[in-house]
A and B are shown apart, each in its own frame.
Chain A
Amino acid sequence: MKKMFAMALGAVMMAGAVSAANAGTLDDVKKKGFIQCGVSQGLPGFSMPDDKGNWKGIDVDFCRALAAAVFADPNKVKFTPLSAKQRFNALRSGEVDVLSRNTTWTMQRDTEQGLNFAGVLYYDGQGFMVRKSMGVTSALQLNGAAVCTNTGTTTELNVADFFRSHKMKYEVVAFEKADEVVKAYDEGRCDVYTTDRSGLAAMRLKMKNPDEHVVLPEIISKEPLGPVVRHGDDQWFDIVKWTLFAMVNAEELGVTSKNVDEMKKSTNPAIKRLLGVEGDFGKMIGLSNDWAYNVIKLVGNYGEIYDRNVGPKTPLGLARGLNALWNKGGIMYAPPIR
């Protein structure tokens, strides 16, 4: 009899023990040996598998940078493709450790949705794409148009705001997958395709005839895109945040993946702190002191991952614009490491 009682009690206690997990993301990540990173279902330049199945893109490179910071190995990362609709739930439920999926930083997401934005990886704005044959030159001429967009995005809300504030009518056709949006637009279900301008440039590459389309000049919103973590784990939040800052600081200090070893001998104290020659900055976030060195050596600084994935020499051909460093005409600015 006593045995049975003890067994029952034991089962209950075991159940209780499980619920205590899930707080220290860094420990979990170290234990399983890789970072689970949420990315898009295929957005060229941001996150998309190449023909060999390797994930490529600026969002992907950020995940690799995180893996380099934690494990000194950029390949210790696994990717989970997520739709716009699934992404926050996947992050909140712990299915992914970090979400690096061209996600706009908004107040409601940062608070009510239980998420923390670790900074801005790409400053973007929402634009419209139409067929050249329509003869439209401004978004203000779009009264009565059918607009294809993604559900569960800020895009969906911005487009509603834009048409309403200009007293124009529109019909929204909202799909769950980005590919379906493009397909529906390409097949003529909609007159207009709207998303972030970087997304327009990227998804255009997936259309039957990319030259038939034109992006209208209006930018109707601010879309700061960045990596996201869930509430409740400050250490992990710090790691993600400072990995991003380290990459931006590295560009500002002229440290690249090619010269990082020479730079270790630099006399500039800022570089010394960045590369872990001086100070205990890695330890402050629970990593080794050469964390930023690994990030830059194995993945690159911010400018490098920008140019490699979305810059002017890539098929996307996006100029740095707002994403240039603050001292080069842009607004990309990182707090100092000290």
Chain B
Amino acid sequence: MSTAEAVIAETAAEGQARQRRLILVLLLTIASLLIFWGSASAFYYHSPTGMFADLARWVGDIAAALVTFDGGFLQWLGRIGIAVIRVAPLFSAIFIVGVALRLRNWLVREHPRPASANPLFDRHFRGIFSELVIFTLLAAFLWWITGNTVENLHRLKGDQVVGFDFLSSTAGFGINQILFIDYAETSSYATAIMVGLINTLVLSFAGIVLATIIGFIIGIMRLSHNWVISKLAAGYVEFFRNVPLLLQIFVWYNAVLKPLPRPRQSIAVADSIFINNRGVYAPKPLFTDAWWFVVAAFIFGIVASWFIARWAHRRQMETGQPFPVLTTALALIFGLPLLTYGLVHLLAGPPVHFDYPVLRGFNYQGGMRIIPEFIAMLLALSIYTGAFIGEIVRAGIQAVPHGQTEAALALGLTRGQMLRLVIIPQAMRVIIPPLTSQYLNLTKNSSLAVAIAYPDLVAVGGIVINQSGHELEVFAIWMLIYLSLSLATSAFMNWYNAKMKLVER
């Protein structure tokens, strides 16, 4: 029935009932807004007009934060964050009005004929009505908890309540793994948190790569027809995924620390790599300007391989003649730089020098160093996650019907071609989505590093909380960073998934 017909068919009694319902909606909306307003004023602003004064100030704050890009990226982000969070509850008022409008529209257009004169017995009306009530209560609750927090912070800390300005104060503490950026005790809290973030990223990245390798090996081992190999893989999976990760971290940390000697009795490999209970020390390469020729050759190799692969693919499509792409690419990517290296060495002397670690005083100085905490974390995370990935890989391969194998072989593909062109692409479709969650898990699990003194984001943030007393702010930074890391990882994996998915025509 169209709207026009409905309106025409309306009786006088129905019209009255409709009128009553609309008046009720109006009253409800006003009541909801009053509760919302009242709770906001009572719990948060302490005056009925405070909301508007604050709103004006927040807009000013956001503008100021955008204009004065002064202290550090985190601080700047934090200021905008605070302003947005403060304005956010106001959106709930808009939402209340929105629900009310929707209710009105719906009553007038789609449901003009009341099922009953009493709106409370009208199923649809009740549904939307309860939505309004629940939302109003939720808004009041939000005002209450934020108001409560602000109030308590005020009482404890006085006027300088919450804010990210502390991030520019001097950190004052040391960190034992600093990568890519400069950090000293005189640096700011913001820099310290960046150091922690980089440590988390490095650990997660290395963990993801290693866990994927372990997982694929284990997954394929489990499908082996060799009884010993498949049972070995099954045992690995059952053991490592059923023992709590934190326990594994402690075990690995002790397993790494205990058997290793003191620095003065280090295990030396070829007199350049030293292993002791302070970590692994290796020579650090120092590059001369001539080194860039080698890098250029490497990049050229990659680009050239890509073009060759494209050309070979096209030629094979047209003429059916295959081309040895893999060997050519390997030769270009690795052979060419090696050749350049040799040439540079002959013409301009060695393009790379090494800074060897030397035992001085308590420990080795110079060179590159991997701290034992990193090794323990990497082992624990990748072995634990590897067990899960192993199962995912097994499931993915088993999900490809056997008929595909038979068909591929019947077409005359070699076993390698069959795997590469038929089985793996189909298995990947099943593997990628759960693999994404494992990558996310690994990243988040890396926060357990705090247990063994690996200075990751959580460990460093914890120190900052304790030394500065700004826990809400650091918690906000933690959540924001982990959220962005997870979203970035899943965005990448979604892109990869879309690429790998069967193209349906």
Question: Which residues of A line the B interface, CB within 8 A?
Answer: 1, 4-5, 8-9, 11-12, 15-16, 19, 22, 84-85, 88-89, 92, 108-109, 112-114, 134, 142-146, 151-153, 156-157, 159-161, 163-164, 169-176, 180, 184, 187-189, 191, 230-232
A144:B172 contact, CB within 8 angstroms: no
B148:A19 contact, CB within 8 angstroms: yes
Chain B minimum-CB-distance residue to A158: B172
Indicate which residue in A12, A88, A184 contacts B466 across the interface (CB closer than 8 Å): A88
Given known pairs A189-B278, A191-B362, the reply for A172 and B148 (CB within 8 Å) is no
| Residue of B278, B362, B451, B465 with most partner-chain A CB within 10 A | B362
Instruction: Check if B257 is an interface residue, CB within 8 A of chain A.
Output: yes
Given A11-B140, A172-B176: 10 more A-B contacts, CB < 8 Å: A8-B137, A22-B152, A89-B471, A145-B362, A151-B466, A157-B172, A159-B174, A172-B173, A172-B174, A188-B262
A12:B174 contact, CB within 8 angstroms: no
B185:A156 contact, CB within 8 angstroms: no
Chain A minimum-CB-distance residue to B31: A5
**Could you say which residues of chain B place their CB within 8 Å of the CB of A189?**
257, 277-278, 372
Indicate which residue in B42, B160, B174, B278 contacts A170 across the interface (CB closer than 8 Å): B174
Indicate which residue in B39, B258, B463 contacts A156 across the interface (CB closer than 8 Å): B463
* A–B pairs, 26, beta carbons within 8 Å: A12-B39, A16-B39, A85-B463, A108-B468, A112-B157, A112-B469, A114-B158, A134-B362, A143-B362, A144-B365, A145-B361, A145-B363, A146-B362, A151-B459, A151-B466, A156-B173, A156-B463, A157-B172, A160-B173, A161-B172, A172-B174, A174-B173, A174-B459, A176-B462, A184-B453, A188-B257
A172:B175 contact, CB within 8 angstroms: yes
**Could you say which residues of chain A place their CB within 8 Å of the CB of B452?**
175, 180
A152:B277 contact, CB within 8 angstroms: no
A146:B141 contact, CB within 8 angstroms: no
B462:A160 contact, CB within 8 angstroms: no
Instruction: Check if B238 is an interface residue, CB within 8 A of chain A.
Output: no
A85:B466 contact, CB within 8 angstroms: yes
A8:B136 contact, CB within 8 angstroms: yes
A85:B257 contact, CB within 8 angstroms: no
**Could you say which residues of chain A place their CB within 8 Å of the CB of B174?**
156, 159-160, 163, 170-172
**Could you say which residues of chain B place their CB within 8 Å of the CB of A170?**
174
Instruction: Check if B360 is an interface residue, CB within 8 A of chain A.
Output: yes
**Could you say which residues of chain B place their CB within 8 Å of the CB of A22?**
152
**Could you say which residues of chain B place their CB within 8 Å of the CB of A172?**
173-176
Chain B minimum-CB-distance residue to A4: B133
B140:A15 contact, CB within 8 angstroms: yes
Chain B minimum-CB-distance residue to A174: B453
Distance between B162 CB and nearest chain A CB, rounded to angstroms: 12
**Could you say which residues of chain A place their CB within 8 Å of the CB of B175?**
172
Given known pairs A16-B42, A188-B262, the reply for A231 and B469 (CB within 8 Å) is no
Distance between A232 CB and nearest chain B CB, rounded to angstroms: 4
| Cα(A142)–Cα(B452), bound, Å | 24
Instruction: Check if B24 is an interface residue, CB within 8 A of chain A.
Output: yes
Indicate which residue in A163, A173, A174, A191 contacts B463 across the interface (CB closer than 8 Å): A174
| Residue of A89, A108, A142, A173 with most partner-chain B CB within 10 A | A173
Chain A minimum-CB-distance residue to B157: A114
| Cα(A204)–Cα(B469), bound, Å | 30
B463:A15 contact, CB within 8 angstroms: no
| Cα(A157)–Cα(B463), bound, Å | 10
| Cα(A52)–Cα(B265), bound, Å | 43
Contact residues, B239-273 vs A (CB, 8 A):
254, 257-258, 262
Indicate which residue in B43, B172, B373, B471 contacts A160 across the interface (CB closer than 8 Å): B172
**Could you say which residues of chain B place their CB within 8 Å of the CB of A171?**
174, 176, 278, 363
A231:B157 contact, CB within 8 angstroms: yes
A1:B24 contact, CB within 8 angstroms: yes
B258:A187 contact, CB within 8 angstroms: yes
- Interface bin, chain B: 35 or more
B257:A187 contact, CB within 8 angstroms: yes
Given known pairs A152-B462, A156-B463, the reply for A19 and B151 (CB within 8 Å) is yes
Distance between B20 CB and nearest chain A CB, rounded to angstroms: 11
**Could you say which residues of chain B place their CB within 8 Å of the CB of A134?**
362
| Cα(A157)–Cα(B452), bound, Å | 20
Indicate which residue in A15, A89, A108, A146 contacts B278 across the interface (CB closer than 8 Å): A146
A12:B35 contact, CB within 8 angstroms: yes
**Could you say which residues of chain A place their CB within 8 Å of the CB of B254?**
187
B152:A188 contact, CB within 8 angstroms: no
B451:A146 contact, CB within 8 angstroms: no
**Could you say which residues of chain B place their CB within 8 Å of the CB of A142?**
362
Distance between B273 CB and nearest chain A CB, rounded to angstroms: 19
**Could you say which residues of chain A place their CB within 8 Å of the CB of B459?**
151, 174, 176
Distance between B3 CB and nearest chain A CB, rounded to angstroms: 28
Contact residues, B11-47 vs A (CB, 8 A):
24, 31, 35, 38-39, 42-43
* Chain B 136-162 interface mask (CB, 8 Å, partner A; 1/0): 110011001001100111011110100
**Could you say which residues of chain B place their CB within 8 Å of the CB of A146?**
176, 278, 362-363
Chain A minimum-CB-distance residue to B42: A16
**Could you say which residues of chain B place their CB within 8 Å of the CB of A163?**
174
A12:B156 contact, CB within 8 angstroms: no
Given known pairs A19-B144, A85-B466, the reply for A112 and B160 (CB within 8 Å) is yes
B365:A114 contact, CB within 8 angstroms: no
A187:B277 contact, CB within 8 angstroms: yes
Distance between A71 CB and nearest chain B CB, rounded to angstroms: 26
B156:A231 contact, CB within 8 angstroms: yes
B155:A232 contact, CB within 8 angstroms: yes
Distance between B261 CB and nearest chain A CB, rounded to angstroms: 9
| Cα(A109)–Cα(B35), bound, Å | 40
A173:B176 contact, CB within 8 angstroms: yes
| Cα(A153)–Cα(B465), bound, Å | 11
**Could you say which residues of chain A place their CB within 8 Å of the CB of B373?**
173
**Could you say which residues of chain B place their CB within 8 Å of the CB of A175?**
452-453
**Could you say which residues of chain A place their CB within 8 Å of the CB of B158?**
114, 231
Distance between A168 CB and nearest chain B CB, rounded to angstroms: 10
A230:B156 contact, CB within 8 angstroms: yes
Chain A minimum-CB-distance residue to B177: A171
Chain B minimum-CB-distance residue to A5: B31
Chain B minimum-CB-distance residue to A92: B156
**Could you say which residues of chain B place their CB within 8 Å of the CB of A230?**
156
Instruction: Check if B450 is an interface residue, CB within 8 A of chain A.
Output: yes
| Cα(A189)–Cα(B257), bound, Å | 7
